[in-house]
Chain A
């Protein structure tokens, strides 16, 4: 191992961390402005041009705020909980590819911090330990509201993790690999969101629950639990939770983009044009691959996906907790199982006949399954016994 690989790793890691941190800062602004527009308000526009310096102002405020630690709190865990929440939200981005493999300065560069072949499993592992921070924050605060928030979040995240994992399985089946680079490359011709629309939809619903966003933001439902697991947090420690939430949003959008929306690859109508990430540009004496388009496409897709999250927050009421749980277990989980089964059958049939058009049975049958599920929910809601056990 020569020293250049360390330099490469360092640069890539710094890039990812930097992207997430600035992304977080401007996502807050983005959200506030977008929410304001939806609610016909103006939103923060005073600090700097169009409020672009607002995140800086927020940061200064949070840093100088007094930090309180409840007297009967478990000091050690109370201190570590925000950090434990924060770290997975950054680490999870390590395996996400943000550009095609290319040759730069005579070296082959892979555009992800860690190009591991069990990348999807890595995502699963990190997603599954993300719950610790919230649970521990809730417990260590020695506050009933915080505790209930922590309990709710752990139950909610564990429940929705099943459907999340099945969403990963769908992508693995279609991409025939657990390596995220391979999965992205397999979407060269058609996005998995097109092949498996129901799977993509389930995945996006589940990610909302995994990052505790509206309408699944039970752990911090203010009418019921004050501020949930971070009721007792203030100052920088609160800022860490805040950061973690928005970074998770970004990371999970990146994952959704990678698994279902072609990741860093160009949009389908740009295939084989000079705007494709595989295109070779000739500018004067230089000839190079347009790899730098990869991060740009990724950014575009992430921004759109984030907008959907914000849009949902602006327009949807919070779901009642018992309904949230029955929705996860009784609707999403069976539907995800059906979707995985249909995908597996479709892939198998396509392989048997060696004709990718047979993959068309996947969207057809899974849409039927999805409609059946919607029908069941509708029936249950009509009978008003949806929540009863």
Chain B
């Protein structure tokens, strides 16, 4: 076993354990915190995969903004503990079936594609990837200009939507 593999396995265990922790926690605050840890673990995976920009964006956007908002709303509403989970209308069985199918699929995927997929080249100096950062910038403004611009409209719409929902019209 190489060091990389050991590192991967440790992080993978952390990622799965925190995901399960999120799923099983009774307290929504704990769920959110587990999810933050999970995102952090995934950010480390991004580093290992040679994507430092994505890794840092992951921390900034998910851990730094999205999950803080979640925590904020949970605390604001006092929604830490809601009534224990009740399984509705066979959704539990649906979930179980889905889980079995997806896991079977992935195992099959793993076994069948094991030969075909490549081994990741070790991202030697992931600390020195200014070039890739420039490449990402260029890609965003040349190849992916349209999605980039549409995303800005999307953010505008989300902002308008959130304000429309939470702010009542005067006298309305």
Consider the complex of A and B and state whether they touch directly, i.e. have CB atoms less than 8 Å apart: yes
Which residues of A approach B to under 8 Å, CB–CB? Answer: 74, 77, 114-118, 121-122, 124-125, 127-129, 131-132, 135-136, 138-139, 147, 150-151, 154-155, 158, 161, 177-179, 389
**Do residues A178 and B133 form an inter-chain contact, with CB atoms below 8 A?**
yes
Q: How many A-B Cβ pairs are below 8 Å?
A: 76
B29 contacts which chain A residues (CB < 8 A)?
Answer: 74, 77, 139
CB distance from A178 to the nearest CB of B (A): 7
**Do residues A154 and B60 form an inter-chain contact, with CB atoms below 8 A?**
no
**Do residues B127 and A117 form an inter-chain contact, with CB atoms below 8 A?**
yes
**Do residues A151 and B76 form an inter-chain contact, with CB atoms below 8 A?**
yes
CB distance from A269 to the nearest CB of B (A): 32
A128 contacts which chain B residues (CB < 8 A)?
Answer: 59-60, 63-65, 68
A177 with B75, Cβ < 8 A, contacts A124-B60, A129-B64 known: no
Taking A116-B52, A125-B60, A132-B68 as known contacts, 4 extra A-B pairs with beta carbons closer than 8 A to each other, sorted by chain A number, are A118-B130, A124-B60, A151-B76, A154-B72
A127 contacts which chain B residues (CB < 8 A)?
Answer: 64
B52 contacts which chain A residues (CB < 8 A)?
Answer: 116, 118
A151 with B72, Cβ < 8 A, contacts A117-B127, A139-B29 known: yes
**Do residues A135 and B57 form an inter-chain contact, with CB atoms below 8 A?**
no
A121 contacts which chain B residues (CB < 8 A)?
Answer: 53, 56-57, 60
Q: Which of A125, A131, A177 makes the CB contact (< 8 A) with B59? A: A125
B69 at the interface (CB under 8 A from A): yes
CB distance from A328 to the nearest CB of B (A): 15
Report the separation of the CA atoms of residues A154 and B32 in the bound assembly, to the nearest whole angstrom: 15
**Do residues A158 and B65 form an inter-chain contact, with CB atoms below 8 A?**
yes
CB distance from B135 to the nearest CB of A (A): 13
Report the separation of the CA atoms of residues A89 and B33 in the bound assembly, to the nearest whole angstrom: 20
Report the separation of the CA atoms of residues A178 and B36 in the bound assembly, to the nearest whole angstrom: 26
B133 contacts which chain A residues (CB < 8 A)?
Answer: 117-118, 178
**Do residues B71 and A177 form an inter-chain contact, with CB atoms below 8 A?**
no
Interface residues of B in 88-118 (CB under 8 A from A): none
Q: Which of B59, B69, B130 makes the CB contact (< 8 A) with A178? A: B130
A115 with B68, Cβ < 8 A, contacts A121-B57, A129-B59, A139-B75 known: no
Interface residues of B in 65-92 (CB under 8 A from A): 65, 68-69, 71-72, 75-76
A122 with B68, Cβ < 8 A, contacts A139-B29, A150-B75 known: no
A389 contacts which chain B residues (CB < 8 A)?
Answer: 167
B129 contacts which chain A residues (CB < 8 A)?
Answer: 117-118
CB distance from B27 to the nearest CB of A (A): 8
B128 at the interface (CB under 8 A from A): yes
B75 contacts which chain A residues (CB < 8 A)?
Answer: 135, 138-139, 147, 150-151
Q: Which of B33, B59, B71, B127 makes the CB contact (< 8 A) with A154? A: B71
**Do residues B68 and A135 form an inter-chain contact, with CB atoms below 8 A?**
yes
**Do residues B36 and A179 form an inter-chain contact, with CB atoms below 8 A?**
no
Report the separation of the CA atoms of residues A131 and B65 in the bound assembly, to the nearest whole angstrom: 10
CB distance from A56 to the nearest CB of B (A): 36
Report the separation of the CA atoms of residues A389 and B36 in the bound assembly, to the nearest whole angstrom: 34
Nearest A residue to B43, CB-CB: A125
CB distance from B57 to the nearest CB of A (A): 7
CB distance from A140 to the nearest CB of B (A): 9
